[in-house]
Amino acid sequence: MAFLTPGEKLKYLRKQLNVTQEQLKAANISRSFISLVECNKRRLTKETAERLIEVLMKAAADNKVSIDVDLNYLTMSEVDAAIYYCNNIIKTYDKLLNIEDLNEVIEISKKYRLNDIAYEAFLIKANILYDENEYLHAFQCYESALEFSILLQNADSMSMLYNKLGKCKLKLISYEEALAYFNRAYEIAEDQDNKIRKENALFNRALVYKFLGDIPLALSNLEEFLKIITKEERLDIYLNGMMLKGNCYVAINEYKNALDIFLQLNEIIDKIKQPTLAGYMYNNTAVSYSKLGFIQQALDYFDKAEEIRRNGEELNLAYTYIDKATMLMEQSRTCEATNLLEKAMFIGEKFNDIKCVLDAVSLLERIYIDIGDNERLEEVYIHSLYILENNNAKNKILELLPKLTLLSIHSLNLDLSKKYLNQMINLQKCN
């Protein structure tokens, strides 16, 4: 997109209307001054522009040509025109705004060094990509937004962006990297005494520590989080914190403590009618009951979770399938478990959710190894490989390739085993 200076616009209008510089002298302006304006060597004042517009509009009327020109258009600088154009696009930020629009804004903002607009465009683009489950590309755009945020010295947006970068790494199952970003978000929020950003960082750190298996640190961060949040102020956030606390107890086999928390929260959630929270709570309650050996109660709560999650929460439904399948495997109900896990794996692929796919595949791996079904085992490994390659998860790919190599050797497919070995060697060189 090209933007014209006032002089370039004047020259363009003259050519369009077949008006000479000499004819513009009717506006009581010398030809030499007009020439200097058109060469961008003189500034066009509003008073002069008004007189020029009168002459141009008269010429348009004489030539029976329709032109759209006003004082603002003629006097607006090239940079101001770029700002105006970009802001108009950004203001339309809704489902009609697409990546191509944002790419154009980004290119313009870089050309004219419009750091605030570049920041906003990268942030919007990153949010769109994140919502579309494109976590790797979203991360790259959040990184670019952060660069401009640092240039603008906007501490609040920096803390927010470190949280978002961490969430991308969380989705990409790069937990150590995610933690580093959440720590930085917390540090900035602490310096700025920003309560909301601090809450986000504490919750996210607790979540990462849980995934890393460091439950004491997860609980420590949650305790600090729950000191800031009260259920009177922000009930949904409080409930999320308490649910994570319950899940931490599940992770360290304190199932009774976990169940006590979930049953207390169930009473609150049943009153406030929030389906998403109810889905989480019913699922977590089911897991706790299953771990305590109350299978029928667990099945009842899994049914409740499934009923809610079938209505627009397909990815969460996949996690319910995984948790339910885990319980069914312990009951030697392998066929039912396999069916649920295969559904979960395909849903995880659909939403580009690495953790969902790997959790499902991990359980399917156990089943297929137990029954000696190498063909189906290879199929689920390939599903894993696809999503890992799509998200550039090199370490996980390196864990998977030896398994695929052994299977291909076992089936006497030496060409395929050679391919996997070469892939391993190339990845190790890159690391």
User: At 66, which CATH number?
Assistant: 1.10.260.40
User: Which pLDDT does position 146 carry in this prediction?
Assistant: 98
Examine residue 135 and state whether it is found in any structural domain, yes or no. no
Among 16, 42, 76, the domain-final residue is 76
Examine residue 319 and state whether it is found in any structural domain, yes or no. no
Length of the chain: 431
Q: Where are the alpha helices (DSSP H) in 229-333?
A: 235-251, 255-272, 275-291, 295-309, 314-330
User: Which pLDDT does position 273 carry in this prediction?
Assistant: 80
Indicate the range of 33-37, 102-106, 156-160, 166-170 predicted with least confidence.
Answer: 33-37
* Number of Cβ atoms within 10 Å of the Cβ of 376: 14
Residue 430 pLDDT class (50, 70, 90 cuts): confident
User: pLDDT of 277-292, one tens digit each?
Assistant: 999 999 999 999 999 9
| Total number of domains in the chain | 2
Cα 133 to the center of its chain, rounded Å: 7
Examine residue 316 and state whether it is found in any structural domain, yes or no. no
What type of residue sits at position 421? Answer: L
User: Which pLDDT does position 200 carry in this prediction?
Assistant: 95
d(C-alpha 195, C-alpha 201), whole Å = 10
Q: Where are the alpha helices (DSSP H) in 115-154?
A: 115-131, 135-152
User: pLDDT of 400-413, one tens digit each?
Assistant: 999 999 999 888 88
Average pLDDT, rounded, for the chain: 91
Residue 95 has pLDDT above 60, yes or no: no
Mean pLDDT of 222-229: 93
Indicate the range of 21-30, 103-112, 248-257 predicted with least confidence.
Answer: 21-30
User: Which pLDDT does position 96 carry in this prediction?
Assistant: 61
What is the dihedral angle through the alpha carbons of 269, 270, 275, 281, rounded to the nearest 10 degrees?
60
User: Which pLDDT does position 190 carry in this prediction?
Assistant: 94
- In the structure encoding, which two tokens stand for residue 296, read together? 């029928």
Residue 97 has pLDDT above 80, yes or no: no
Indicate the range of 259-268, 293-302, 320-329, 410-419 predicted with least confidence.
Answer: 410-419
d(C-alpha 122, C-alpha 106), whole Å = 7
Examine residue 324 and state whether it is found in any structural domain, yes or no. no
Indicate the range of 22-31, 242-251, 404-413, 414-423 predicted with least confidence.
Answer: 22-31
d(C-alpha 67, C-alpha 52), whole Å = 14
Residue 94 has pLDDT above 70, yes or no: no
Examine residue 408 and state whether it is found in any structural domain, yes or no. yes
Domain that holds residue 39: 6-76
User: Which pLDDT does position 44 carry in this prediction?
Assistant: 77
Mean pLDDT of 293-297: 97
Q: Are 379 and 391 in contact (CB under 8 A)?
A: no
Among 52, 76, 100, the domain-final residue is 76
Residue 312 has pLDDT above 80, yes or no: yes
User: pLDDT of 77-88, one tens digit each?
Assistant: 889 889 988 998
Examine residue 387 and state whether it is found in any structural domain, yes or no. yes
DSSP state of 42: S
Among 76, 97, 120, the domain-final residue is 76
Q: Are 337 and 329 in contact (CB under 8 A)?
A: yes
DSSP 255-274: HHHHHHHHHHHHHHHHHHT-
User: pLDDT of 322-363, one tens digit each?
Assistant: 999 999 999 999 999 999 999 999 999 999 999 999 999 999
Residue 212 has pLDDT above 80, yes or no: yes
Listed residue (57, 58, 54, 14) closest to 38, CA to CA:
14
d(C-alpha 251, C-alpha 25), whole Å = 84
User: Which pLDDT does position 412 carry in this prediction?
Assistant: 81
Cβ neighbours for 407, distance < 8 A, ≥ 6 positions apart: 374, 377, 378, 381
Listed residue (140, 6, 147) closest to 72, CA to CA:
6
Q: Which residue has the tokens 């403590």?
A: 257
Positive or negative torsion for Cα 166, 91, 102, 97: positive
Mean pLDDT of 248-269: 94
d(C-alpha 17, C-alpha 60), whole Å = 6
Examine residue 406 and state whether it is found in any structural domain, yes or no. yes
Residue 1 pLDDT class (50, 70, 90 cuts): low
pTM attached to this predicted model? 0.86
d(C-alpha 345, C-alpha 347), whole Å = 5
Mean pLDDT of 30-39: 80
Q: Are 171 and 209 in contact (CB under 8 A)?
A: no
- Between residues 194 and 428, which one has the greater pLDDT? 194
Ramachandran area for residue 119 (φ above 0: left; ψ -120 to 50: alpha; else beta) = alpha
User: Which pLDDT does position 164 carry in this prediction?
Assistant: 98
Examine residue 169 and state whether it is found in any structural domain, yes or no. no
Residue 49 pLDDT class (50, 70, 90 cuts): confident
d(C-alpha 272, C-alpha 312), whole Å = 19
What type of residue sits at position 106? Answer: I
